Structure 1
Amino acid sequence: MAVETRDGPQLELEAAIGFNGHVISGLRVHPDREHLIYPLGCTVILKRIKDCKQEFLHGHTNNVSCISVSKSGLHIASGQVTFMGFKAMIIIWDYVQRSIYAELQLHQAKVEALAFSPNDKYLVSLGGQDDGSIVVWNIETKQAICGSPASPHSAGHCLTVQYSNTNENIFIFMFTSLVFFGSGTLSVWELDLPNRKIRPTECQTGKLKRIVKCIEISEDDRFIFCGTTSGDIMKINLKTGLLSDCGPVKTKYSLGVNVLRMMKSGDLLVGSGSGTFTLCSSTTFKTLKEVKLEKGVTSIALRGEGQQFFVGTEAAQMYRFSYQDFKPELISTSHNSAVKDVAIAFGTSELFATCSKEDIRLWHIDKPKELLRITVPNMTCNSLDFMVDGHSIISAWDDGKIRVFAPESGRVMLIIHNAHRMGVTAIAGTRDCKRIVSGGGEGQVRVWELQSRGHRLLETMKEHKATVACIKIKSDDKECVTASSDGACIIWDIVRFVSLQMVIANTMFRTVCYHPEEYQIITSGTDRKVAYWDVYDGSAIRELEGSKSGAINGMHISQDGKHFVTGGDDKLVKVWDYMDGVVTHMGIAHGGSITSIKICSNSRTLISTSADGAILRWRFPHPSSL
């Protein structure tokens, strides 16, 4: 269903590849045991475990920073980040209706953590470093009951909160003070409902000074377990507020303890910043089982009684474990840094490829599952393209090399060394699959001939003064257009290697496209305008306001030429009518700047990528008449 917004119909989001693994405890299992809940950008995703079917909760205006699920499963709460000086929203979702139950706004800049009371009566929220307050909300009335500064200290900020498992009026909240060598204070807060106050009692840890990153309370509320940046776990008696134990003594967890989860058996699941994931005794802290995962563990979610559990990492990976064998099963992968470009295999709408830091990944369009990963350690792929015959992927890298890979196996077919001295920034292949046109950070455009045993540089064209951001080749392989951050778009004859036309604007061009009939080009960039130009004389035909805020980074035209799409720093996917120059549909889901956007050749699907690592698949609203 397309939902009406202030700007017209909203695009239907069909699938999302991505998971914000940096949100601590962002991955949750719903009490119905059937759905995973996790954040991606400004969207909360519900993913059915059985068949991976996704549903999307839209309402946040910026990245989701924390998630909590009520014990009954009736409500989900999510908080977000926003800009300094603005209030950060908390949304309570009605899980059954998949709709917004309440929008709560008191915290400034960021909501750090959320926790439901055991009987779903209250929600407690913590503000981030620039807010420093704690608020208790009545879920039924949707109003704040009371609030308080999180700590009397003037420095430091709150990191996490956990509600008592048995008492509606008690929650534990950890405040990290930056004074006195980073010592932390742990407070047990009690809700005084008649007086609308919350009163803290500080726990005593004696001479042991630690910065606590996470807390977990035993099911009977006897003990609080605190994971620290030092890599050990403090055990505190909840009734007395006194330190009971601390361990392990010898082999501490490297890069600190990020997340703790208590099993029904009483044992602890521990996730560390180095990727070590262990099951340990809550009495002796002795490791019982251990595995090493890729990058830091940030989420542990138990399913039901804990016979099965799910783990999320900073590498944006999700794993499934069973308690019995404790072996990781990788169930979801995604980029954990900015996606730089997306390319769709020519003539098919089944395969597409994305690139980012260190890797290129191939995906099947109908199933958001990674088919192949091509890794080049410590390098960033800036741009990529499929050759028309489907036999190779050409790619542009920041180490100045062009790499050509086989899409089936990922093996290297060709490396062009020293292609550009300031990194290769843009790339395109001709229809006859015999040549590659590349652009570099220094502004040069180069044409390469592919040979059976290597390659040959045909020509270097040097009119651009800054980074070449985009290259498109005409269907007859005789001309191409390049867009540069120097404010020029140049149409080149790539048979005689001369410039035919140059268009100049007061902008840093980011993207350019030929209209399918190839008599016009459209451009966009940092001036937020979409401009139409005549190919033959370089004259400006039309200018549209493409975005109210931020550069436009990606643009693509449908095969019939009737519509085009844009995406940029405003995080909005826009579908335009080419002749009328108006937005027909808008997509709101990205939490980061949109970096690239493509329409599939069947004009049924649209793929957009963003700086937060997300890849989103939308239903294209204008099926092709071709």
Structure 2
Amino acid sequence: MKRSRNQNKPQAPHNLILEEIIGLTTKNGNGLASSISSSKCAYIAGCVVVLYDVHSGTQSHFMAPNRVRKPLSCVALSRDASIVAAGESGHQPGILVWDCATLSVICELKGHQYGVACMALSHDGKHLVSVGFPRDGCICLWDWRNKILAAKVKISSVSSPIASIGFSFDNKYIVTAGKNQLKFWKVRWSPGSRARTGSVSVALLRKVDLGHHNESSFVAVTSPCWMSRSSWNQIQAGEQIPFYSVTEKGTLCMVYPGSSFIKSVQLEVEKCFALSLSTSLVACACNNGLVKLYGSVSLKYAGGLCYAEAKRCEESNVTDSKTGTRQVELESWPTLPDAIACQFSTSEKLVVVYDDHSLYIWDIHDIHKATRCCVLVSHSGCIWGIRNVPCEYMHDPSVSCVARGCSGGLSFATCSADGNIRLWDLAIESAFSEDRTSLLGIDSSNEATCLVSAGIFERDSVAKGISAPGFRSMAVSSDGNHLSAGDCQGNIHIFNLHTSDYICIKDAHGGEILSLSFNLAGRNDIASTEALESHFILASGGRDGRIHLFDADRNFNPFGTIDYHSSAVTALKVSRSGCEILSCGADGFLVLHSVDLSDMECKITSVRKIATTGIIYDMAVDNPMDVAFTACQDKKINVFDLQSGKLVKWFKHDRDIGDPIKVTTDGTCSYLACSYSNRCICIYDCITGEVVAQARGHSDVITGIIFLPDCKHLASVSRFYFLCS
């Protein structure tokens, strides 16, 4: 009896559940949306829309299902926060509409060619209007519930792109803002038009005579999404509700659809990026971390929110990593990050996104005493490394790990091209059961900044005060005592996470340091005879093809150099005893080195040199360092026996998902996770080579992945991080 083909067919891999996102990829005001009648705001994080509740500090995530996901460019949220929509970038983009209650996709709309620049939902939530990228230049009006493209009009060109779009409160008008233009469009519905495509007309009502603003570029436009009793009386009396728009050079305008009258005020800033409207205020996001607030009727200045004040509060409570003293040099501060997007989420909360990829939620109940009630912090540059940070006290509340700010959860560290290293904790739920709302707290024992964000908090910024051009690689010792980071200029920075001691090894390499490694975990578990010969080592590999060795037991004094690779060293592993070092490089070789270190001399020999096919991008090993898994240019994950030097087996995905970039194994070496150049992650069974799970969501190449010690979570990084269970 023959088995059916379905019985021979391997089971489809599971999709990992996206649990938490830290960071965002919002680039302008179109990447942030909110509902003033609820406590929710929506922002973009790669290929994911994050719906964040500013009161509870919880996240919901929305992604395109069952297909290759494209980076998102804009987002819109319905007035009652029941519907969220997002537009994609790239060729043949889609507009996705989700139900916020069920997190399911309601529909996908296709009408643009090269990306969706901006969009808006009508105030009754029934219609959606979208504008394509400049090469597309079309405005599309959708009856999205019926998946009908009601109208499509060519409205812009590459030389005059549209930056923002919005509906009037009664949905009879659409206004577009862009380079040297502010236009009103009349929407006319024909009888039975909701059942037929093309039976709705979108006609230019008028181009606003901007007068002396004629050469201005408008960056944002909005209209009231609320109606007071007086406003309803205005509409019933035939009066119009105004639109608000702002120019790039900082002019706030109030314009009526049927009138040439423009009321304006100068913001007195170098540049403006976005605006938002509440029941009584207009907020304008400006350069140098400034948000200006004006009365919505009078346009009189009402107050401002300054990133510098928030920064001053944060900096004043940071301990210097070298001296242990609190030092703040206000005069040496660089230019503050621009406020690039803002949205009112309730009339008393303002969400602001800055171009350092941070999100602040301001409480403006008392506009003269505005305070930050939440901060979601991230890196402002590409994240190049992520590593687990073990807690030597196993989170015992009776010892000093609590005093150090340890939450009792799972800790990991990230390093970035922005010159910062951050320590994060995936908090245990019970630790924050009383209040998981995001807040900024100060630990009284050491006055270190402690940032809690939806169950994840940044314990400290260990590189604060250290001048570095940007970190490229990182390693953490297995006891959690030391963290080392290599920068783009060849310097190595070493931090003692318990004492705050700092060592800088200048010019260790001639170029950027691509890999660092301490001894593998389990140094204390090796046999007593082997322990006598063991060494605590830090190894560094650079683009110059060299490997330098440092004695961690002797203040990281250099004791040897390995020069076996002809090009960049891409990954390093030091054995538990420190007597063996495994390296791989862009030259395609996997090299096992023996290290014999005595008081008098150091002898380094090459034990085995294994040739592979093409560049080796990354490498993972089992703990005894008997087996190596390599991510190679041949699109395979090759498995080598290091004792014999032979290729044991290889894994390859059955689809073309690009080159394998990063690999890592779980603590038991049962599973291997690999990130690919098409921005997906696959988890393999190390025995069978079967793909058991996969994940998508990043919009950029994934630069690092780790299994967290609980073996329940996988963390990955690119421009932002996300955690999967």
Fold similarity call, TM over 0.5: yes
Cross-structure match for 2:167: 163
State how far apart, in whole Å, the 1-side matches of 2:633 and 2:114 are: 26
Paired residue secondary structure (1:340): strand
Paired residue secondary structure (1:140): helix
Question: Which of the numbers 450, 453, 463 marks the counterpart of 2:564?
Answer: 463
Cross-structure match for 2:236: none
Q: Flag the 1:130–1:508 CA change in 2: closer, same or farther, 3 A.
A: farther
Cross-structure match for 1:78: 86
Question: Which of the numbers 139, 147, 153 marks the counterpart of 1:142?
Answer: 147
State how far apart, in whole Å, the 2-side matches of 1:191 and 1:284 are: 29
Question: Which of the numbers 624, 647, 650 marks the counterpart of 1:543?
Answer: 650
Counterpart residue identity of residue 722, structure 2: L
Cross-structure match for 1:257: 272
Cross-structure match for 2:611: 504
State how far apart, in whole Å, the 2-side matches of 1:186 and 1:464 are: 60
Question: Which of the numbers 425, 429, 432 marks the counterpart of 2:518?
Answer: 429
State how far apart, in whole Å, the 2-side matches of 1:175 and 1:6 are: 51
Output the TM-score relative to the length of structure 1: 0.89
**8 Å contact from structure 1 (residues 341, 384) kept in 2:** yes
**8 Å contact from structure 1 (residues 509, 523) kept in 2:** yes
Q: Flag the 1:287–1:487 CA change in 2: closer, same or farther, 3 A.
A: farther
Cross-structure match for 1:356: 416
**8 Å contact from structure 1 (residues 559, 601) kept in 2:** yes
Question: Which of the numbers 340, 352, 359 marks the counterpart of 1:298?
Answer: 340
Q: Flag the 1:581–1:434 CA change in 2: closer, same or farther, 3 A.
A: same
Cross-structure match for 2:188: 192
User: Is residue 2:293 matched to residue 1:279?
Assistant: yes
Question: Which one is further off, 583-592 or 340-349?
Answer: 340-349
**Cα deviation, residue 421, structure 1:** 1.1
CA deviations on 1:305-333 (whole Å, 9 max, x unpaired) are x1222212121212122221223344211
Bigger share in strand: 1
Question: Which of the numbers 611, 630, 640 marks the counterpart of 1:523?
Answer: 630
Output the TM-score relative to the length of structure 2: 0.78
**8 Å contact from structure 1 (residues 289, 326) kept in 2:** no
User: Is residue 2:514 matched to residue 1:447?
Assistant: no
Cross-structure match for 2:505: 416
**Cα deviation, residue 465, structure 1:** 1.8
**Cα deviation, residue 286, structure 1:** 4.8
**Cα deviation, residue 588, structure 1:** 1.8
Q: How does 1:215-614 map to 2 (within 5 A)?
A: 215-218=221-224, 221-240=240-259, 242=260, 244-248=262-266, 252-254=268-270, 256-265=271-280, 267-282=281-296, 285-293=299-307, 294-304=336-346, 306-323=347-364, 324=366, 325-346=369-390, 350-357=410-417, 358-366=419-427, 367-373=455-461, 374-375=463-464, 376-377=466-467, 379-408=469-498, 411-430=500-519, 434-452=536-554, 454-495=555-596, 496-546=603-653, 548-610=656-718, 613-614=719-720
State how far apart, in whole Å, the 1-side matches of 2:121 and 2:720 are: 29
Counterpart residue identity of residue 273, structure 2: N
State how far apart, in whole Å, the 1-side matches of 2:212 and 2:640 are: 72
**8 Å contact from structure 2 (residues 94, 109) kept in 1:** yes
**8 Å contact from structure 1 (residues 317, 330) kept in 2:** no
Counterpart residue identity of residue 440, structure 1: G
**Cα deviation, residue 170, structure 1:** 1.0
Identity of aligned residues (%): 17
CA deviations on 1:434-466 (whole Å, 9 max, x unpaired) are 3210011101011111355x4322111112122
The structure with the larger Rg is: 2
State how far apart, in whole Å, the 2-side matches of 1:346 and 1:380 are: 24
Q: Flag the 1:516–1:355 CA change in 2: closer, same or farther, 3 A.
A: same
Structure 1: state its 5+ residue gaps.
Answer: 177-183, 620-626
State how far apart, in whole Å, the 2-side matches of 1:545 and 1:511 are: 15
**8 Å contact from structure 2 (residues 657, 676) kept in 1:** no
Cross-structure match for 2:530: none
Bigger share in helix: 2
State how far apart, in whole Å, the 2-side matches of 1:370 and 1:113 are: 33
Counterpart residue identity of residue 383, structure 1: S
Paired residue secondary structure (1:87): coil
State how far apart, in whole Å, the 2-side matches of 1:154 and 1:291 are: 35
State how far apart, in whole Å, the 2-side matches of 1:455 and 1:543 are: 37
**Cα deviation, residue 175, structure 1:** 3.4
Equivalent residues, number? 593
Paired residue secondary structure (2:508): coil
Paired residue secondary structure (2:187): strand
**8 Å contact from structure 1 (residues 25, 298) kept in 2:** no
State how far apart, in whole Å, the 2-side matches of 1:508 and 1:581 are: 22
State how far apart, in whole Å, the 2-side matches of 1:243 and 1:469 are: 63
State how far apart, in whole Å, the 2-side matches of 1:522 and 1:79 are: 39
Q: Flag the 1:32–1:246 CA change in 2: closer, same or farther, 3 A.
A: closer
